[in-house]
Structure 1
Amino acid sequence: MAHPTLLRLGNTIVYLFFLSSSIYNVVGPDATDIGYGKHPTYLTPAPFAFAIWGLIHTLFLGFVIWQWLGDSEEIVVEGYGSYFIIAGLLTSLWHNNWESGHLILSLLILLFASASITIVYHNLRNIPPRTYTQSLFVHAPISLYHGWLVFVTWLNIFAIFTTVHDPAHPPLLHRVLVFLVLLQLTGTAVAYTEFKNRDVGDIPGAFTIAWALFGVAAGQQSKFISISALVMGIIVLLYAFRPQVIKRRIGGGERQPLLGSAAPDEQV
């Protein structure tokens, strides 16, 4: 087991590298299209969807600062461990291979990155947030990160096995495949709510899937794909807030935290 200080230092260094890599991919001399348009598919979202990385990096910045303050050893060691370090490095490596056209290699890298974040997600399920700060800067960025990698994994798969010939009129097989993936993403968002915490759900994870679906709806010229993604995005949001609505009715309107179940006497 790594020493907590070494893990904190590793998290900090990898975060700075991860952030620098993302910024370089957007404003560097080799930057082309913002987003994932270099390898177009019938699942490719509009460029604005790429902006979610800004939110992810901002929340992880909060985690990097928070881990050096107060009692964070349990979360740093038992929650994040070395898996955030692995995922950050692999995600940066994935983007480089995606941009260079090594799509099969990029998919393999992405699967390992997703597995690392999935482990963190499961670990944190056993360490519920005690404060709103932990909800926002410890749990929320992992949920966002995990949800986005799930979507990008499907995008990478489509880039390998499909080709866009007519953006407005995809073949029937492609429409069916995209619809099935949209259903799977919707199911993933439902699983976030049911698996992590039935009482409060997982708003950040569901938001990420909804954001991806809305991005697909805005980025695709096919009416069938666009409308399907839009409808499923709305369903995801409605289901994600269902625990909050139920809690309010049962509790007579008592407020519940959206990002986790922080103790009321530790709202810092």
Structure 2
Amino acid sequence: MAHWKDNLLLKVINIVTFLLFTGANSYGALPPFFEPQHYTYLSPEPWIYGTWGIIHTLLIGLLFYQFTEIGYHTIIEGVGWRFPLLAILTAVYGGLSNSSSNDHTFSFVLSILAFVTILFVGATVSHIYRSIKIHHPPKTLLDTVFVHIPFSLFHGFSVVLIFVAGFAAFGVDASSHPAGLFTKAFVFIALLLLEGTAAAYVFAGRGDVVGAAVISLSLLAIFQRQSIGRSGHFIHYSALAFFIISLIAVLRATIAALSGSSRITGARATDEERAPLVG
């Protein structure tokens, strides 16, 4: 049986790093405060960055939940020291992605560093995601709400940010350069990969509707930001098409999950009705 004082150092470091490195990033990422410095042909509407606010709010619950016995096994043993590392890396990425400079070369270096950092963020959250999915499946509602949902959101959103940061580093500035053939091709491939990743979340293993949903909404945000006047019909409607496809997959998985829960509940009720009144 785990005591609340067990591995107290890690628990305290989780709290300190979250407060120091995540708090400001959480508020700064909420619309209308956040506006990315680099506008590309894959940039989404800023409202999607409100995902950070949802993630960080749920992670506050994780900081309390880690002091419980069930939370100890999931968070301390499953997530471990990767949580403070993730908080630091995310803060570094947030600082780099929000930085700008009049010097084109320095701005390019910042974009490259932001892209490299988000790759490390993605790798770290992937390790956490895999660990809790395979070795620590949710046992209670609190497990689901304070551990699995925030890291599913984090994992899905980090995939989106990798593509966004990649275009910010290597793509053309959409505010001053028209979308050429190669740009449209690369954007289409990126949108296709995002939609395919959302489908993979839904249909792979036990399914992850939350991770798929955040990618689907990101496609909607890209569609909204890439207006016809700036990006042309191709990028605008490609994003819309992939959003609709991913949304259908998310809705089908959600309906299937709800139907499965209803069948399980009904089966349990039937078994209880058939059970003898006296053992």
Pairwise TM-score range, normalised by the shorter structure: 0.7 to 0.9
Q: What code does the residue aligned with 2:49 have?
A: F
Residue in 1 that maps onto 2:192: 183
Aligned residues: 246
Structure number with greater Rg is 2
Q: Check whether the contact 1:167–1:220 (CA below 8 A) recurs between aligned residues.
A: no
Gaps in structure 1 of 5+ consecutive residues: 257-268
Q: CA RMSD of the aligned region, Å?
A: 2.6
Residue in 2 that maps onto 1:12: 15
1:88-237 equivalences in 2 (<5 Å): 88-100=87-99, 101=107, 102-126=110-134, 127-165=136-174, 170-197=179-206, 201-221=207-227, 222=231, 223-237=233-247
Q: Check whether the contact 1:247–1:254 (CA below 8 A) recurs between aligned residues.
A: no
Label 1:58 to 1:227 Cα distance change in 2 as closer, same or farther (>3 A). same
Label 1:165 to 1:138 Cα distance change in 2 as closer, same or farther (>3 A). closer
Q: Check whether the contact 1:8–1:76 (CA below 8 A) recurs between aligned residues.
A: no
Listed one character per residue, the Cα deviations across residues 199-247 of structure 1 (whole Å, up to 9, x for unaligned) are xx21210111012111101111233222222221222222123344345
Q: Check whether the contact 1:7–1:76 (CA below 8 A) recurs between aligned residues.
A: no
SS at match of 1:42: coil
Normalised by the length of structure 1, the TM-score is 0.82
Shift of 1:174: 0.9
Q: Check whether the contact 2:39–2:175 (CA below 8 A) recurs between aligned residues.
A: no
Residue in 2 that maps onto 1:83: 82
Distance 2:88 2:54 in 1: 18
Higher helix share: 2
Distance 1:159 1:87 in 2: 22
Distance 2:219 2:48 in 1: 9
Distance 1:59 1:214 in 2: 23
Q: Check whether the contact 2:39–2:174 (CA below 8 A) recurs between aligned residues.
A: no
Residue in 2 that maps onto 1:261: none
Q: Check whether the contact 1:42–1:167 (CA below 8 A) recurs between aligned residues.
A: no
Q: What code does the residue aligned with 1:163 have?
A: V
Normalised by the length of structure 2, the TM-score is 0.79
Gaps in structure 2 of 5+ consecutive residues: 1-5, 100-106, 266-279
Residue in 2 that maps onto 1:240: 250
Label 1:246 to 1:167 Cα distance change in 2 as closer, same or farther (>3 A). farther
Shift of 1:44: 0.4
Q: What code does the residue aligned with 1:35 have?
A: E
Distance 1:209 1:180 in 2: 15
Return the match for 2:24 from 18, 21, 24: 21
Residue in 1 that maps onto 2:272: none
SS at match of 1:35: coil
Q: Check whether the contact 2:198–2:212 (CA below 8 A) recurs between aligned residues.
A: yes
Q: What code does the residue aligned with 2:114 have?
A: S
Percent identity reads 31
